[in-house]
Amino acid sequence: MWAVPLETTPSTDPSIYVVGWSQTGIASWYGEPFHGQPTASGTIYDMDGMTAAHQTIPFGTRIRVDNLENGRSIDLVVNDRGPFVRGRILDVTRTAALDLGMMGPGTARVRITVTEAANTVSARGGCVVVQVASYRERESAEAKLQEVVRAGFDASIETYGDVHRVVAGPFAEEPAARRAHEALGGFQRRC
């Protein structure tokens, strides 16, 4: 894998992801064993759908993905978090990978451009949580919940199928969520 500098730096501030915002880097795709499992947004992952995972772009944001290696382009909706491989900026579904012509190599240099901003509440008075961890075992999630509470944050467990997500918050303001993220790790997302 080659290191590729980003044209823009990802941000946890959802207000920057306006129409026209773009980022360039390496995309990959994901399929099994994630097919049929809950995504970070709570929707069920469909490897035949036209969706993508990004570390910070708000869920529901529509993006155009341009494969800079072959000129192909597609439109996707962000509904998951990832990729979790250093140096990659986007994970797409298997169908999206086929349409982009990146199925064989598994990765491609792409440009992401926001075409429709997510319909989210503003960061000034909005609703943000920090997803701290996900577990298959409820007992593990409950132990992590207690750890988050002992750290001084409101917390809850969101259950989707057999996945239990521990979240801190919700926070009405981005700075409070940022402090929780710095203390607990994980990632910020809209409620």
| Digit-coded pLDDT (tens) for 103-117 | 999 999 999 999 987
**Res. 28 pLDDT band, cuts 50 70 90:** very high
Q: Rounded to two decimals, what is the model's pTM?
A: 0.60
| Digit-coded pLDDT (tens) for 138-150 | 899 889 989 998 8
Walk me through the domains of the chain, giving residue ranges and CATH numbers: 14-116 (2.40.40.10), 124-190 (3.30.70.1070)
Q: What is the DSSP letter of 4?
A: -
CA distance 108 to 53: 15
Mean pLDDT of 35-57: 88
Question: So what's the pLDDT on residue 154?
Answer: 84
Structure tokens belonging to residue 175 = 């700075």
Helical segments of the chain, H only: 94-100, 138-150, 174-184
Question: So what's the pLDDT on residue 2?
Answer: 30
Question: So what's the pLDDT on residue 53?
Answer: 94
Q: Cβ distance 130 to 187 under 8 Å? A: yes
CA distance 78 to 14: 13
47 pLDDT above the threshold of 90 = yes
